[in-house]
């Protein structure tokens, strides 16, 4: 039965549809958040039952024939749509059109594969046994590539995967980016490894949880987070989530009573994500444009606050008196400069998620290189562990003792996230370029020294946050920077910082 639309009616339906999707995503997000924060220990199965119903409904709402008809109609009259409406229709329709190009039985088989692969990966990691995971990983890479070719037969399949997480991203851009990083950072790291390591003893001691919690709220307020819309909880692994819309945001942290630095920078990092999300214009609430436009732009904000601001000497100087007040005994005889040095210690390591600012991008680069070579056929999955270990030795100078601390460390591949890693590194580089632009009109570090985040937040809100997902990452960068993405900003930032600290 063909439905006859009018523009007004169709836009009304589009609004309703997005509202429903937001509600279901609110519910699903809250179920997951509850699982990570408050839920009793043996309630995961019960939660999984409800999550599966809600996800099924989200999938149905997003891809039903009725939804497809509505969006195709709106696409056919897109000249009459506003810029926002056009972007909403484009984003929602893209998924449906892509989905239709994949044979349904193959799609279902893949969904099942990913569920099994994730379970197997957990066991394989525990046992440090890559062979156990290998057949699943082979199928995941094979299927990802096959699907990419179904959707865009004329495009390089790895470019398709990259673009899936970062609209418009290509190997061409990343090759330039990582080559520069490699040629500059690897030698710098070797130089650092040859000189005596800095003293980071200030971070260790006895830091009661309630005092650390006080610090968390102080940091959130200082950063300009609106605590009436942003909540804080504790979880095993810190994260940020929007519930329903950017008007209800939750960040989490994890307190280690022997090291206050972990939680301190988690809060600033997640706080950066929360600033970006809650900075969306209110009229984007309950639309698919609400919240950040991509993972890499999101990371550009979280890492901007965590690293560029939070690990600056100015911020360390600003925050030090608060630390002395909270941890009087532990801070005795220490200085703000000790803090600055300690939080910027660079040291090659095995695990990506524990890496410091300087080495982090090298971990990502290794994953990028491996994915790219598997897609091109140069590398086979069975040879992944050997190559992984070789690259860790070459770039980071570390010996990988086993697969648990090597190729099996991340959950991404087992979940089918291929092409996702590079956005982690891009965010760092975007942040450095944003800083350069921001400094033309804002006395960034002068403000930080006073704990005054307002001018910085205002700049970010105006240029980045308020637009939500209205622009592609590339378009946003172009609007904000007025020039091409340029890795040199980031390289220079790292070189200046670490030369000052180590030499």
Binding site for its own copies (CB under 8 A): 19-20, 22-24, 26-28, 30-31, 34, 37-43, 45-47, 49-50, 52-54, 226-231, 233, 243-245, 247-250, 285-286
State yes or no: is 112 an active-site residue.
no
List, in sequence order, the alpha helices (H) in 195-244.
209-222
Closest separation between CB of residue 327 and its own copies, Å?
20
Token representation of residue 277: 């999300």
User: Parallel, antiparallel, or unpaired for β 240-243 and 230-234?
Assistant: unpaired
Please tell me the distance from the alpha carbon of residue 97 to that of residue 338, in angstroms, as a whole number: 55
Q: Based on CB atoms, which residue is closest to its own copies, 7 or 53?
A: 53
Query: Do the beta carbons of residue 307 and residue 269 sit within 8 Å?
Result: no
Q: Based on CB atoms, which residue is closest to its own copies, 50 or 411?
A: 50
Measured CA to CA in angstroms, residue 458 lies from 224, 227, 441 at distances of 10, 18, 11
Q: Based on CB atoms, which residue is closest to its own copies, 34 or 325?
A: 34
Give the three-state DSSP class for 253: strand
Which one from 270, 299, 369, 387 is the annotated catalytic residue?
A: 270
322 contacts: CB under 8 Å, gap ≥ 6? 215, 218
Q: What is the number of other CB atoms lying within 10 angstroms of the CB of residue 109?
A: 13
User: Parallel, antiparallel, or unpaired for β 240-243 and 245-253?
Assistant: antiparallel
Q: Based on CB atoms, which residue is closest to its own copies, 52 or 376?
A: 52
Q: Based on CB atoms, which residue is closest to its own copies, 37 or 222?
A: 37
Closest separation between CB of residue 409 and its own copies, Å?
29
Closest separation between CB of residue 12 and its own copies, Å?
15
Closest separation between CB of residue 15 and its own copies, Å?
12
Radius of gyration for the chain, computed over Cα atoms and rounded to the nearest angstrom: 23
Q: What is the 3-state secondary structure (H, E, C) of 341-393?
A: HHCCCCCCCCCHHHCCHHHHHHHHHHHHHHHHHHHHCCCCHHHHHHHHHHHHH
DSSP state at residue 204: B
Please tell me the distance from the alpha carbon of residue 215 to that of residue 260, in angstroms, as a whole number: 9
Q: What is the number of other CB atoms lying within 10 angstroms of the CB of residue 200?
A: 17
Q: Based on CB atoms, which residue is closest to its own copies, 19 or 379?
A: 19
Output the DSSP codes for 311-334.
Answer: TSHHHHHHHHHHHHHHSHHHHTT-
Closest separation between CB of residue 24 and its own copies, Å?
8
Closest separation between CB of residue 289 and its own copies, Å?
16
Which residues are designated catalytic? 270
């Amino acid at each position: 039965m063909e439905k006859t639309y009018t523009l007004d009616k169709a836009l009304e339906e589009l609004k309703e549809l997005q509202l429903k999707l937001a509600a279901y995503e609110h519910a699903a997000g809250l179920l997951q958040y509850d699982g990570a924060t408050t839920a009793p220990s043996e309630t995961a199965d019960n939660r999984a039952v409800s999550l599966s119903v809600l996800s099924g409904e989200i999938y149905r709402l997003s891809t039903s024939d009725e939804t497809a008809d509505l969006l195709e109609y709106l696409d056919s009259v897109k000249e009459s749509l506003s810029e926002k409406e056009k972007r909403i229709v484009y984003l929602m329709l893209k998924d449906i059109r892509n989905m239709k190009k994949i044979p349904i039985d193959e799609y279902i088989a893949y969904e099942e594969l990913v569920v099994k692969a994730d379970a197997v990966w957990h066991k394989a990691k525990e046992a440090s046994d890559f062979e156990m995971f290998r057949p699943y990983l082979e199928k995941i890479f094979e299927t990802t590539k096959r699907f990419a070719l179904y959707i865009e037969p004329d495009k390089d399949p790895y470019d398709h995967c990259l673009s899936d997480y970062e609209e418009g991203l290509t190997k061409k851009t990343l090759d330039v980016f990582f080559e520069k990083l490699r040629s500059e950072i690897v030698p710098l790291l070797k130089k650092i490894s040859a000189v005596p390591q800095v003293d980071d003893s200030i971070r260790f001691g006895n830091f009661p949880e309630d005092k650390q919690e006080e610090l968390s709220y102080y940091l959130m307020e200082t950063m300009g987070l609106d605590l009436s819309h942003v909540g804080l909880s504790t979880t095993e692994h810190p994260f940020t989530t929007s519930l329903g819309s950017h008007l209800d945001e939750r960040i989490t942290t994890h307190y280690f009573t022997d090291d206050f630095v972990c939680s301190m920078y988690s809060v600033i990092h997640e706080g950066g994500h929360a600033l970006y999300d809650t900075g969306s214009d209110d009229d984007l609430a309950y639309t698919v444009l609400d919240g950040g436009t991509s993972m890499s732009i999101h990371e550009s904000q979280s890492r901007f606050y965590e690293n560029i601001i939070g690990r600056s000497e100015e911020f360390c100087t600003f925050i030090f008196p608060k630390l002395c007040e909270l941890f009087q005994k532990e801070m005795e005889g220490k200085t703000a400069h000790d803090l600055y040095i300690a939080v910027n210690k660079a040291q090659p390591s095995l695990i990506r998620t524990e890496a410091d600012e300087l080495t982090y991008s090298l971990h990502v680069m290794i994953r990028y290189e491996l994915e790219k070579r598997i897609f091109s056929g140069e590398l086979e999955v069975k040879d992944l562990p050997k190559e992984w270990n070789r690259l860790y030795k070459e770039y980071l100078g570390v010996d990988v003792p086993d697969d648990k601390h090597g190729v099996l460390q991340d959950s991404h591949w087992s979940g089918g996230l291929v092409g996702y890693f590079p956005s982690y590194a891009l965010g760092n580089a975007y942040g450095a370029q944003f800083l350069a632009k921001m400094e033309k009109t804002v006395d960034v570090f002068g403000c930080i020294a006073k704990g005054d985040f307002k001018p910085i937040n205002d700049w970010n809100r105006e240029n980045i946050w308020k637009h939500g997902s209205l622009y592609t990452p590339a378009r946003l960068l172009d609007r904000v920077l007025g020039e091409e993405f340029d890795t040199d900003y980031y390289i220079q930032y790292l070189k200046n910082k670490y030369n000052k600290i180590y030499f």
